[in-house]
Amino acid sequence: MTNSLLYIRNLSKSIGSITPVKGISFELERGSCTALLGPNGAGKTTTLRMLAGLLSPSGGEIQYEGGGKSGRDWQKRIGYLPQYPKFYGWMTGMEYLIFSAKLSGLSGAQARKRSLEVLDTVGLREAAKRRIAGYSGGMKQRLGIAQSLVHEPSLIMLDEPVSALDPIGRREVMDLLSRLRGEVTILFSTHVLHDAEEVCDRMVVMVDGRIAEQGSWTELREKYRQPVLLLEVEPAAREEAWLRTLPGMPFVESADIRSRTAALAVRDLDQARNALMREMSDSRIRFQRIEAGTSSLEDMFMKVVGG
Ligand SMILES: Nc1ncnc2c1ncn2[C@@H]1O[C@H](COP(=O)(O)OP(=O)(O)O)[C@@H](O)[C@H]1O
Ligand SMILES: [Mg+2]
């Protein structure tokens, strides 16, 4: 890809006898927002730590566009927010940012100027002179994002930036990410599909150290789109027994049967609809609701993650 900021080829990491990352490859396009999505233990944090230069890979390569292969070259061009950031509670937000900016090599005057700019970006200008210990979860996380931006990196990597937040904090951070989109390349990890869908245009799904799926939302929606029939019957033993026979029917590809409801993935919607109506009429099934639709991204995620 000509417009890639970062290439990862066959990247792996072994720690003792375990291999949290088992050979993954993907690319990040300049200006894109990509979600690294996967359940706990998938290897997201290990991957991000390698990309941030905090952990050395056991195999494979990481290449930043124009940046050579040495971590030192590109570390200046990345901002990283760890999953469990630690702040010095006695510092003020402003002090913390100046401190971080100087660590990234900015001069005193530059550090001050950039700190004020990023405080504006994340909406913490008012709170700049307050001690971090008094910040809410959402404010701390926004300060963490400000810190990741202070040295004007081309890429920021955020490890589960909203997972530990209450709904208000989550909303603050999600809105901030939406605003940052397009201004800087973003890679952020999450185990929540919804979060990924809200701000990102692409996703890389990791399961058990491997990439289970990747692509843009449109590509994945298209790929996993499947007609489904949803059915709800009267709460009666006869109806419920009949529901349990549905997975064996020829028009059903896969079925999720609960006590009174069935979700049937089918190949041909019209054919399946007719067959189902015939079955219901022959067996005199008292239904409460029938619905035809298509599977959601949620179904896709469950399929990919479930293996
Ligand atoms: N330093 C370590 N020592 C032992 N096991 C580790 C270490 N780092 C990660 N792991 C294991 O590797 C797997 C992936 O971890 P992690 O990258 O944190 O996943 P995620 O961020 O997706 O939840 C987990 O099973 C975790 O317990
Ligand atoms: Mg993690």
Ligand 1 in contact with 42 (CB < 6 A)?
yes
At the topology level, CATH places domain 225-306 in Alpha-Beta Plaits (3.30.70)
**78 with 67: CB under 8 angstroms?**
no
- Segment 290-307 shows an average pLDDT of 81
Q: Are strands 287-294 and 261-266 parallel, antiparallel or unpaired?
A: unpaired
Residue 295 or 183, more confident: 183
153 pLDDT band (50/70/90 cuts)?
A: very high
pLDDT of res. 246: 95
Q: Where are the domains of the chain?
A: 4-222, 225-306
Question: Is pLDDT of 70 > 90?
Answer: no
307 pLDDT band (50/70/90 cuts)?
A: low
**150 with 81: CB under 8 angstroms?**
no
2 pLDDT band (50/70/90 cuts)?
A: low
Distance in Å, CA 238 to ligand 1 centroid: 48
Distances (CA, A) of 253 to 258, 274, 278, 290: 17, 15, 18, 18
Q: Is 4-222's fold the same as 225-306's?
A: no
- Segment 199-206 shows an average pLDDT of 94
pLDDT of res. 298: 78
pLDDT of res. 145: 97
Q: Are strands 18-29 and 4-15 parallel, antiparallel or unpaired?
A: antiparallel
301 pLDDT band (50/70/90 cuts)?
A: confident
Ligand 1 in contact with 46 (CB < 6 A)?
yes
Atom number, ligand 1, closest to the C-alpha of residue 48? 17
Ligand 1 in contact with 43 (CB < 6 A)?
yes
Ligand 1 in contact with 12 (CB < 6 A)?
no
Residue 273 or 294, more confident: 273
CA distance 154 to 183: 9
Lowest mean pLDDT among 37-46, 96-105, 192-201: 192-201
- Segment 16-23 shows an average pLDDT of 97
Ligand 1 in contact with 44 (CB < 6 A)?
yes
Q: Are strands 155-159 and 185-190 parallel, antiparallel or unpaired?
A: parallel
Phi, psi of 153 (to 5 degrees): -75, 165
Which residue in 190, 144, 148 sits closest to 34, CA to CA?
190
Distance in Å, CA 37 to ligand 1 centroid: 15
pLDDT over 70 percentage in the chain: 97
- Segment 260-285 shows an average pLDDT of 94
- Segment 252-270 shows an average pLDDT of 91
Atom number, ligand 1, closest to the C-alpha of residue 159? 21
Distance in Å, CA 50 to ligand 2 centroid: 13
> Quick one: tokens of 2?
């000509």
> What CATH architecture applies to the domain 4-222?
3-Layer(aba) Sandwich (3.40)
pLDDT of res. 302: 79
CA distance 118 to 101: 11
| Most confidently predicted of 1-5, 72-76, 241-245 | 241-245
Ligand 1 in contact with 20 (CB < 6 A)?
yes
CA distance 289 to 70: 61
> Quick one: tokens of 132?
């971090």
